[in-house]
Structures are given as structure tokens and as C-alpha cells.
Structure 1
Amino acid sequence: RRKKETVKDIDIVASAKDEDRAAIMNHFTTLPDIENVVSKGDTKSTIVLEGGIYSDLRIVSDAEYPHLLHHLTGSKEHNVAMRQLAIKKGMKVSEYGLFRGEERILCKDEAEIFAKLGMDFVPPELRENNGEVEAAQAKTLPKLIEPGDIRGMIHNHSTWSDGANTIEEMAQACIDRGYEYLVISDHSKAAAYANGLSVERIKQQHAEIDELNKKLAPFRILKSIECDILSDGSLDYDDDVLATFDLVITSIHSKFNMSESEGTDRIIRALQNPYTTILGHMTGRLLLKRDGYPVNHTAVIDAAADLGVCIEINANPLRLDIDWRHCKYAKEKGVKIAINPDAHRTDGFDDMQYGIGIARKGWLTKNDILNCLSADELLAFAKKRRNG
């Protein structure tokens, strides 16, 4: 529920009548894809799923349900802050309920728990003790980005480089999902492993996009490239080539073995190119597989703010990069964030749910997100960046 980038186990909370609990537990402990049943009881059972993930099911009364749900949602630090606030107000809150002395204060759902403590409802994504308890008391929580706020898909690949679907197939999938535009950002020439585009192939792709825009209007396909940031921070094409794109995403795909200062300087030099519209997956991390290269996030965000460059949240669940912990600072500095699926096939658009979760964890609203703009507004953003 908190949309953390990784989880170690799964907690499921349910409320049920006493006479129904045994049947529910029987069903839970006989689900498919179970490696092992660790324990089974009337109120709690634990299983191990294939792949080694532990999952608990806890069954409580209707009165206890919202409190256990809140408690297990966490985070631990958020729960501690909530307990401290309750004490200040002469109450006690725990997984068992909200109490004033021995008297239970009934709460039908999580929202009532917060309300009884004089708070606005805190969305689960914000529950990290990162200022949300104070903001909820002051009624200053932001209205977080919602899936319906997204108007277009930025940073997507096609069969022109290493994607599995044609540009038209990618566009039709966007149309079917109700989006207004698609930004095609195939790989640049240095990414030979990904069939990166030569200058001649760029011209051919742009001609295809022009024809598709006539065919699919009013839907728009924008011309972009995921341009490699080379080892010295320069970009993979000359400026006259970059000028042919509507917008440019710059990313590191090689020579990851850098010091923090080298990585930071390399990225900032790339941001200084006036054709850089968006910085892609800032650290290059692959969750649970590869650590990101070291980067001074503050310095990069400061540079992006000074230069008018957008920073990507790469929504691929292996990336989720830029990390949510840095989004709030980027927002404070006025840096626009793009939530990008980095889709290599049509079903890759479904990864947007993960990117939106990370944006919500980062306190971001629709006004902070680049792809909440219309296509014309996005083009104006890129043009303003190029013109300084």
C-alpha cells in the first residue's frame, strides 16, 4: 500500500465472523503456488510462496480491522509518530484500536482514526514519517497525482531499436488507453546492442511518424530519442541532429564504474546541453540486481532546476529511478518530473502504475508532472529549454 520500491513479505488483513474464519484460513493455506505452510490458526496463518516470499493472513473483528490495517501498512516510523501524537492528545493508538483510558473510540475506517486525532487522511504512500503527520494536522497535505491526470506516454521504444512493437502499434495502445500523445524515444547510435539509430535511420523514422500523425490525428506522436550520455558527459549526436527531435531524453547506459564526483559531473555536463529536455533513470539502478552508480542527487537536482531540465521517474519496476526520497526536494526546487514507462512493448504502458506510486510517495501533484501537460504544452516546455 505504501508503494515502496521493494517489499520483503506480504501482510493481508481481513475481518470476518468467528464462524467463518476456519473456512477462510483453509482457503488461504491451500492456494496455488505455495511452497510451505508455516503455521495455521483461526486468527493468523503464515505461508511461503514460490520464490520464498512469506505471506501472513490475519483475521480480526470489524472494530479492529482499520487499526490493524493502519498498523501493518506502516511505516514503523509513521506509527511511532502517530502513537506520540495520540499520547499528546490523551489517547492511545495501536493495532488493537484507539483508546481514551479504557474506553474504545470506535473508528469505522482509517480516515476516522486520523480524524479523531485532528488530522486529514494521510494517503498510505506518504506514511514514512517524512512530515506527513505534521502536514495532516496543519491541513496542508498535497493533492497527490492520480492515474487519470496523465495525458501522454513519454519515453517509449519501438521496433526501430529494441522494442517489440511498431510505432503504430504503440500509438494504438495509447489511444485505446485514452492518452492524447506518445513520445517515441528509441536508442541512440552508441547503443549498438539495442539497434541504436543512425542519423539516416532517424530521418526515416521521422518520415514514418509524420505519416502516422496524419493517419491517427488528433492523436499525436512526438519525435524523441533516448540519447546516450557518453563517458565525458557529451551527447551521442551533434546538436544539429538533436535539433530535429521534439524533445530529447539523455541517459547513461555505459561505463558505470565512476566515483560520485565523476558521475555527477558527467550528468551535469549532459544537462548543460540545451537540447536535453529530460534526464533519464538518474542512477541506472536495477532493483535487487544492480546498484546505481553513485550520484550527488542534490547537485544534479540543483543543476536541473537552474537549467530548466526535467527529471524522469522511470516507471519500470526494476528501476523506479529517480528514487522517491529525492522527489520532494526536486519539487521544492521547481524541477518538473516526468513519469515514464520506458515501454519496450505495448503492455509496458501498464508499468505507469508503479511510477505513479513513486511520484505519490514523493509528494508530487499533477502540477509537478510533465506528462500531465498537453502535447502542445510539452513542446513549449522543450522549446523554452532550448532557447534558454
Structure 2
Amino acid sequence: MFKHLFKLIWNKRKQNFLFLSEILVSFLVIFAVFSFLTFYYQNYTKPLGFEYKRVWAINYDNGGLTKNSDSLQIFYRNLRNSLKAMPQIEAVTFSGANFPYSNSNISTNLNKDGKTFDWVNVYTDAEDYVKVWNLQLVAGRWFNENDQLTKNRSIIINETLQTAIFGKGSAVGQFLGDFEDKNRMKVVGVVQDIKANGDYWPAGNAMFKKSDTSDLRYTQNILIKVSEDANAAFEGRLYKFMTNTFKNSTIGIEHLTEMRDAKNEVTIIPMIIFTIIAGFLIINVALGLFGVMWYNINKRRQEIGLRRAIGASGSNVSYQLVQEALILATLSLAVGCFFAVQFPLLNVFNVPSSVYLIAMLLAVAFIYLLVFACALYPGKQAAAIHPAIALHEE
């Protein structure tokens, strides 16, 4: 039976070329859509790694502050005490421009045994940093006062970086080279991954370093964790306090909940637009497939009538036409899968191979369902052709 069907398809290869092309294009588009959706879904299901609710970010211009280290320490110590004295503030920490959901990024390279690991996100830990974010350690410890007295600088890395460097081994107690591989840094802890770029993006490589006095010169953000009763009135008083503290400086107060929504929208909106465009394309392809099959049935009315006249049932005729469509789809999918499988093999866009493999399976299933749906009704119409009428037309 299949040999006969392949012979029929081969004899009509020029007529089937359009059908094959539409299936191939549809598969590639659906594969791209499912790759994005699978990638975002896998990241979305992973833990966030920190708490962003009730966290506010205060940004300011520190250009007007003194550059003297001792004076800066006194200034920021007094500022921190004043903020913590407010009943609505539970924790205060100072931060550089790089913190979750911010539009800034500070990265470096780390070295281990001659191998370089690029694009390591650097976060600076100041007092109460853990209290503000509620970060979760999975191994080792957090920073303590003794870390500032050691010869080798202490750092904390995230789970993703630990896996990239040490595989399944433990990173605690190991030494890493800095970006020039000159100074050694000791890993004292491993923290749970934090998705700092939104719910739909991976954590990436990250490390935390202890803040020192030199960091105060570049501090332009204060992160605070507020209580449940912190409202707009308190925000107004906080803004006035910061304005009086930082003369001639522009003060901004942002809520991490709003910053998170903005980050997620940057991902979701283009994906929705892309999905809608792909949906319209698939509808047009489905209509095209339906039209091609309808046209082929009308061209083969005499063939169908002859088959019915020699004893073929209507279900057999319908089954044959659906089989032909699925075989054509299989031929197109074989070509499409050849191109799709190159993505995980070549590690395109540095995306996990599982994303492409799942997307490929979903795209194949979707195309088969699409072709089956488009072939089902024309196949039923072909089964309804009366042999006497078809042969009389001949």
C-alpha cells in the first residue's frame, strides 16, 4: 500500500512541490515559536532565588559628595542609621548600579586552571544585603568580618557558575583567578540562582563580593525593604528626606515590583507579537493546504470514481487521501528536522539542547495535526463522490 502511495506521490511530484514547500516553511516557523516558548517556560518554572516584594530602590547622584574615604564612611553610616530609624524600613543596604531588575550590568571574567569563564555578573554585598533580598545559601557561608582580613579575597558564586566551573563538585574552599588571573579569590559560599533579568531569563553566571570603603565612591543606589504599611505618604516623606540629604541631586524611588513587571513586559510583548504573526501565517498555510487538497480531489474525480466502481469503499478513499497528505508532510518534516537539529548540535544562541529538542517534537506534532485537520474534510468529500457520476463525467 505504501509503495503504491509513494508511486502516486512521485508521479505528481511537480504538483506536490507547493504542498511540500508550505509544510517546510510552516515547520520552521512553528519550530522557532516553540523554541522561544519552551525557553521562556523552562526559565519561568525555575525559582526566582530572592524576594523583590516590598523592596524599593533609591537612586541619586553622588557627585556632590566628598571623595575622602573617612568622611564618606561617616556620611553613609549616619545615613543608614537615619533610614533604619524610620519605622517603615526593615533593612537598608547600599548598592552599585547592578542589582536585580536594574538596567545596568557589571560583569567580569574568572579563571580556573587556565580556562576563562566570561560574563560573570558581579554584585556588591554591603551590610544587610542578605536581609533585603533574602538570598538562600545552598553551600558554605555568607561573608563575615574576617573576610576583610584574609590575604585572598572571599567571594560567593551562584549555582550556575559552580556547575560551569566545577561540574558536580563542590566550589566551597576552591580558589579562582580574577579577570587577569593574577589574584586568587576564595569561594566561601554558593548561593541559589537569582533571575535578575526577569522571570523568563536564566540566571547566568554570577558572583558576590564584599563591599569595601572604595565602593562608597561609586555608590548611587540605596536598597530598602519596607514594611507592609509603607504607603504613598511614607514615600513622600522618604523622598523629602533624601532630597534634603543629597543637595542638588536628582532623587528617584522605584518599586522592585514595578521594575519586575517592566522587565517581563520587554520579553512578553515581542513574544506575543511574534506568536500572533506566526498564527496568521499558519492560518494562511492551512487555507492553502486545504485549497491544494480540494483542487487535487477535483482533478482526481475520475480516478476516485474508478476506485469506487471496482469496489473501494468511501472510507478507503478518504483514508488514502489522508495518508498521502501525511506522507508528504513526513517528507517535508524530514528536511525541516535536518535543519532544526543543527541548532542543538551547534549550540546556537547558547541555549540548552533540551529547548530545541522539545520544540522540534512539538513542531512535528503540530504539523501532523495541521495536515490531518486540513486533509480530513476533503477526504470525506472525496469519499462521498458517486462512482457513476464521476465516470459519466469522464
* Shorter-chain TM-score above 0.5: no
Give the TM-score category using the shorter length: under 0.3
- Which has the higher relative contact order, 1 or 2, with Cα contacts under 8 A spaced 6 or more apart? 2
| TM-score normalized with structure 1 length | 0.21
Higher percent of residues as helix: 2
Max radius of gyration: which structure? 2
| TM-score normalized with structure 2 length | 0.21
